[in-house]
Amino acid sequence: MTISGFTMVRNATKLYYPIKQAISSILPIVDEFVVALGDCDPDDRTLEEIQSIGSDKIRIIHTVWDLDKYPRGMEHAHQTDIAKAACTGDWLFYVQSDEVVHEEDLPRIRQRCEELVHDDSVEGILFKYRHFWGDYDHYITSHAWYANEIRIVRNRPDIHSWESAQSFRRIPEFDGLHYREKKGTYKLKVARVDAHIYHYGWVRPPRYMQNKRKAFATIHSGKAHAQEYFSKREEEFDFGNLSQLSIYQETHPAVMQERIRLFNWADQLERRRYRQPVERHKHERLKYRVLTFIEQNFLGGRQIMCFKNYRLVSR
């Protein structure tokens, strides 16, 4: 049994993505790691960051992003598919550039792949998520955020990245363009693994966080719309009142320790703690707070009335 790791990325260092940590976190259990590296800006050092890992398992494919051909975030899925198509393993382990795996989970992940490799009815493996917010001490437990997602898939040509690379679907006779199409697509049959993805996409200095949101809006809605939207907003992102969030008391992945030591924006978070934010974040809205309360106190954390892009099988 072989496992390929893969990801896509552009402007990681410029936008404060932990790309080095994401790749390094799963290198011990993969036989190769394929990176689709987009056309980064001149002031970005993503290539150097990846090369500093110093692993001969890593293979870089240089790409050019085309937001006109792949609008509404579909370039994310297209770039993911480029990396996926170059993988050779039996299982393909996808980590996004802000996702990290804890070293304690690696043996369980590999064992789960070995258990399921000959069970052709299982098309993917489902992970639990920890979504950190603002800093490394707070994470979100909310109906507004996805609790599980597919991150390992079979190496099959009809399995494709879907929508904005949130997940995967089986798409027979895919035209290679319409990543948001639902008709003629099929949810993957997946089995669980007792392991987490540590999501650090919302752990950035406030100015970097706002820049990342601008870049994301450009990819999804176009440059003109993004410029108009953010012209009316502050240059620093407002994380809101973190005291309402869950406190993280366990360990972070070892590869994150150096990055955690660089954390230096606590005073910026504290300054805004008691200010009324311009916009209320989704997890702060009453509807989602009520649903979260019901799920956490009466349903053992099981989410209700939420979209699931997979079919869970008992294996």
Segments forming the whole domain that contains residue 259: 1-315
Q: 3-class secondary structure for 107-155?
A: HHHHHHHHHHCCCCCCCEEEEEEEEEECCCCEEECCCCCCCEEEEEEEC
pLDDT at residue 271 in the model:
75
Whole-angstrom distance, CA of residue 228 vs CA of residue 184: 36
pLDDT at residue 34 in the model:
99
pLDDT at residue 272 in the model:
65
Query: Does residue 247 contact residue 13 with C-beta atoms inside 8 Å?
Result: no
3-state class of 173 per DSSP? coil
Whole-angstrom distance, CA of residue 206 vs CA of residue 197: 23
Total domains present in the chain: 1
Paired residues of 168 in beta bridges: 161
Length of the chain: 315
pLDDT at residue 52 in the model:
98
pLDDT at residue 286 in the model:
86
pLDDT means per 10 residues, the chain with 315 residues, are 98 98 98 98 98 98 98 98 98 98 98 97 98 98 95 98 97 96 97 98 97 96 92 90 93 98 94 67 88 87 88 88
Could you tell me the pTM of the whole model? 0.96
Contacts of 111 (CB under 8 A, 6+ apart): none
